[in-house]
Amino acid sequence: MTAKIRYGVVGTGMMGVEHLRNIALLPDAEVVAIVDPVATSLDWAREALGDRGGAVESFDDVATFARTARVDAIVVASPNHTHRAVLDPLFGMDAAILCEKPLATTLADARWIVERAAAHPRPFWTGMEYRFMPPAAAFIEQVHAGRVGNLRMLSIREHRFPFLPKVGDWNRFSCNTGGTMVEKCCHFFDLMRLIIGSEAVRVYCSGATDVNHLDERYDGKRPDIIDNSFTTVDFANGVRAMLDLSMFADGAEHQEEMSATGDKARLDVLIPPGELVFSPRVGFQNDKRVERTRIAIDPTAHAAGSHEGATYFQHLAFAQAVRGEGEVQVTALDGLRAVQIGVAAEVSAREHRVVDIEELEEDYRGR
């Protein structure tokens, strides 16, 4: 590999453009190729690339890109349901791959990607930006260091805005996204696994479409994506986790909140403003001893995306893996496990029942 990492970006819609802006901040890196079947999206990419936009190769199909482009690393930011088809020719290239979340919209496609990634000679990385938000990373580090004692409960809340418009509004239907619990919540199911250090064994989700997109129609069809839910996940080590999601709470002060409660203390993180709140146990009617600290975020990284600087910090780590100077921190298998919990949550919400993860494994083995 050359000293400067040459990137190709496949899919140059909203998230693809965020990747372009963050790659531009990396030392010894340049985007040399962009791929998208939609001309407007390629124009967005050229605008984001600025003066270099005219010099970058552009392709309207991934097969031609795979045959002719000379790149060291590829970022896949195409719509969720296209990941398997997009990755198929890319696995034939001698390049590292970062594939945006969710890894796939179905377990069959996710398992196929895991198998192909295992045989791929270059690093394969699942894009899970939330791990790399500086406040979230500090929270995870302190939980793993034992600050709350023996972790028993993990609570995550995301109260946010509705799904944003995308090209063709593909994200309005579960057949394209895998469903909200896969598309959006795989981030949080990945965080649960990372923080708890165990695998999910059962999932119960109560969710519905109650507010958003009710008056929208596409070819006569109304969007079917869940816009609010409560999800409880039991893990093999006995820890339980809960996700509280609302996609119609854009006025909330904090978009994300996480709380880890152990036998010695509770630790919260509030995003934004990036505040950690440590609350040790004090006994009945004793004075509280709450400690608050704020995690700083590099303003340049923060301005380059919508994930509290996380996309930049993920790219720093991915670049190290591309150069052989660091490990892949989010594997294809990590991506599969997050999708698996999301699929279980979708089934649970729509069928109003508890879903054992083993049930999904048995369905796969029975095919």
Q: Where are the domains of the chain?
A: 5-128+315-328, 131-299+336-358
What kind of fold does domain 131-299+336-358 have according to CATH? Answer: Dihydrodipicolinate Reductase; domain 2 (3.30.360)
What is residue 96's predicted lDDT score, i.e. its pLDDT? 98
User: CB-based contacts of 103: which residues, under 8 Å, 6+ apart?
Assistant: 83, 110, 113, 126, 186, 332, 335, 336, 338, 339
> CA–CA separation, 47 vs 302, rounded Å?
19
Tokens of 95: 């390049």
What is residue 365's predicted lDDT score, i.e. its pLDDT? 60
Average pLDDT over residues 340-357: 97
SS3 269: strand
> CA–CA separation, 357 vs 189, rounded Å?
13
At 292, the pLDDT band (50, 70, 90 cuts) reads very high
Read off the pTM.
0.95
Tokens of 129: 């930006």
Helix segments in 24-177, DSSP class H: 39-49, 62-68, 83-90, 107-119, 134-144, 174-177
Average pLDDT over residues 340-362: 95
pLDDT per residue as tens digits for the range 227-274: 999 999 999 999 999 999 999 999 999 999 999 999 999 999 999 999
Cα-Cα-Cα-Cα dihedral sign, residues 339, 340, 341, 346: positive
Paired residues of 265 in beta bridges: 280
Q: Which residue has the tokens 């970022």?
A: 75
User: CB-based contacts of 333: which residues, under 8 Å, 6+ apart?
Assistant: 114
What is residue 206's predicted lDDT score, i.e. its pLDDT? 98
pLDDT per residue as tens digits for the range 266-277: 999 999 999 999
Closest CA to 260 of 145, 134, 101: 145
Average pLDDT over residues 150-158: 98
**pLDDT above 90: residue 280:** yes
pLDDT per residue as tens digits for the range 35-93: 999 999 999 999 999 988 888 999 999 999 999 999 999 999 999 999 999 999 999 99
Tokens of 132: 């790399």
Average pLDDT over residues 15-21: 96
Cis geometry, peptide bond prior to residue 280 (ω within 30 degrees of 0): no
Instruction: Let me know: does 21 contact 48? Beta carbons within 8 Å.
Output: yes
Q: What percent of the chain has pLDDT over 90?
A: 90
What DSSP letter does each residue of 177-244 carry, written as one string?
A: HS-HHHHTTHHHHHHHHHHHTS-EEEEEEEEE--STTTT--BTTB------EEEEEEEETTS-EEEEE
What kind of fold does domain 5-128+315-328 have according to CATH? Answer: Rossmann fold (3.40.50)
**pLDDT above 80: residue 367:** no
Tokens of 178: 């895998």
Q: What percent of the chain has pLDDT over 70?
A: 98
**pLDDT above 80: residue 192:** yes
Closest CA to 230 of 222, 241, 215: 241
**pLDDT above 70: residue 1:** no
> CA–CA separation, 348 vs 365, rounded Å?
20
